[in-house]
Structure 1
Amino acid sequence: MKPVSHTRPVTVIRGRVLLENGLAEDSAVAVAGTEILYAGSENGLDAALAAADLSSEPAVNDIRLARGQLAVPGLVDLHCHGGYGVDFPSADVAAARTALHRMHAAGTTTVLASLVTAAPADLLSGLEMLSGLAAAGDIAGIHLEGPFLAAARCGAQDPRWLRSPDREFAAALIAAGKGYLRTMTYAPELPGADELVDLLTSHSVVPSLGHTAASADDAGASLARAAAGLSTQAGRVPTVTHLFNGMDPIHHRAPGAVTAALRAARAGSAVVELIADNTHLDPFVVASMFELLGAENIVLVTDAMAAAGLADGSYRLGPAEVQVRNGVARLDSGSIAGGTAGMLDLVRNSVAAGVPLESALRSASEVPARVLGKAGQIGSLSVGAAADILLLDADLRLLRVLRRGVWISEA
């Protein structure tokens, strides 16, 4: 491989590191510019630096982690409606950037911004605003949660704007995303859902089954169709939006979409989202899913709304008014209306539930990166990946955040 010329100082982090092959002591990560220059055993660091074309003798910022501390990849959230008082569906660019900076500083170095079901004009304008943020690198793209969802399982989605898929409007949504629409939640039982899946996959948009009352057969067939449509795209597979939430419970004579999603994920042909905030899912369920499906088939997501990172109070989720009490966001109807936890909270909750640390971290970084088609670019500490690194203490509390090679803070 031809050496890359780097002119910026080199940052070296030494100690316990989550490498591609697992957590390892006596390891090192070296960063030059915005990328990772080396990741591996500390014994191989000097040779790697000597072999690199650094233009001149580099200034080295050497960080030695204390006992119990560790370095892990920046976290990747595939489902986030906002936070820190900002609602992405109704925000302007300045407000969204302020919230995103605080998310990055809290350890979520890559964010997929989510829009909820709304009036067509609002969806199109939201896509326009967010596509600009994606072009600037503030977000990794856009997730549309709707509007092609089942009224019977709409949850906090506004039922006024739910509709069956139609090709013309779906194409308009894709066009408004300017190539940055990455995923779309849909209900597979609706008329036109098969055509929607084909349209999405042909534009490299990941279909995400959710807010559905589908039968197991219909859900399974739709996931298989989506997987086939994505089969040429670097191992990408369909996802399942916040598994268990917005779906019929499993019944032994009516297994429903949940059972189909579990079978598809177990087979490696789908990835399921888990909101491990101890509100959307019981910790026992979270641990069970990791045991049954494996971390490689799970992504941890926040489903965060404007209240994330802030105190109880009144907030918005798209067109809806939301009350947050004791950290739980609900509509007046009682429906849960998004999450208030951060990605690092989900990792800690998962570990507390019994999920191995390495598994929880991979489902919060490496696996969502693969869903985005960015394996090896984000979500891992590997040569050539973006220099997104979190330094954590023994209790998995955040110490420092490096994003794209720059140390950041909330200030």
Structure 2
Amino acid sequence: MKNASLIKAVENFGSPLYVYDGNQMMENYKQFTNAFKVNKLKVHYACKALNNQSVLKLFKSLGAGLDCVSIEEVHLGLHAGYNSDDILFTPNNISTEEYEQAISLGVKINVDNLYTLEYLGINHPELPIYIRINPHLMAGGNQNISVGHIDSKFGISIHQVPNIERIVKKLNINVMGVHVHTGSDILDADIFIKAAELVFSVVEKFDTVTHIDFGSGFKVAYKPDDLHTNISSFGKKFSKSFNEFCERQGKEYTLEFEPGKYMVSNAGYFIAKANLIKQTTSCTFIGLDTGFNHFIRPMFYNAYHHIENLTNPKGEKKVYNVVGYVCETDSFASDRIVPEVRKNDLILFKNAGAYCSTMASNYNSRPRPAEVMILDGKAHLIRRRETIEDLLSTQVEAEIEF
């Protein structure tokens, strides 16, 4: 996206600001779906990455389903117009009450523990379900997003498959899908192939299975020339393995994925203003009009986001520590080389589409930023900036004498 469009967006909608390139999201979806050569493919967009209604509606228009991890995300999907059978509900450690709500809404249910498997088999014997398997494969760019290893809280252990078989047989459960997700920021396509081999061995045990879901976790490029998953090469390799399994089984399964970051990461930009430039005895700080309350990935995941100076891109390059304004150590980057920054310059963070605005908070009582989608060259406000009235709106004036 051109700098002029981003600068204009800030001029119109203020700072800090999230800006999304709708055309890039559409291109990402097209590249992903075109990569797989199978008879049946279904993509469920993982809305936890970016759950704005306009984004959900965009992916729905492209034919995507929705991957939801909470009942609230399910409601967001239904509000955006998704059919219930296009929504896959994949929570973990939730109450039976939340499962009951999801069942009443008619969405597809993914089960990741034996207790819930038994509960659903006894109380909803006709309900088709997915079963999430933990393959015990260590994968992912950070321990917080590696979810398929032996100590993970996610899924039913691959070693507990005999227990699954016993419960399914005893309660006559209709297992329509088998699901696996190993983590995020996975570069090595062979991890998926290894997971596939394990999942195929589970699928073979249940004649009722029609859908096989491999989650997501594809690595995107965060730095110029950064390594990333070559989705075309991966799709070709994985399709071959999947088609061979279908042929061996004499059955056409639906191949499913749940990309979130892949669909929106590089389509997102976060823009903040330089409040001041602070020189200390050891370094020079750029102090921004934002903090980890709006953009937590660098602090939470130690994530790298490429930084540019939008308003002085040709300035002399200097070394800065880029920090925020909350009452904590909120360093976005240390020793980062950026064109000279002046007061009120606009600082751009790239790859801000996934797990950025959705993880924002009101820490220090700061309102959350506005969000804008640019589609076919036109900027649309898709979330207004919060106000102090919004922060107070859920508080109740209790009749208490102090």
Under a length normalisation based on structure 2, what TM-score does the superposition of the two structures give? Answer: 0.37
Give the number of the structure whose alpha-carbon radius of gyration is greater. Answer: 2
Under a length normalisation based on structure 1, what TM-score does the superposition of the two structures give? Answer: 0.37
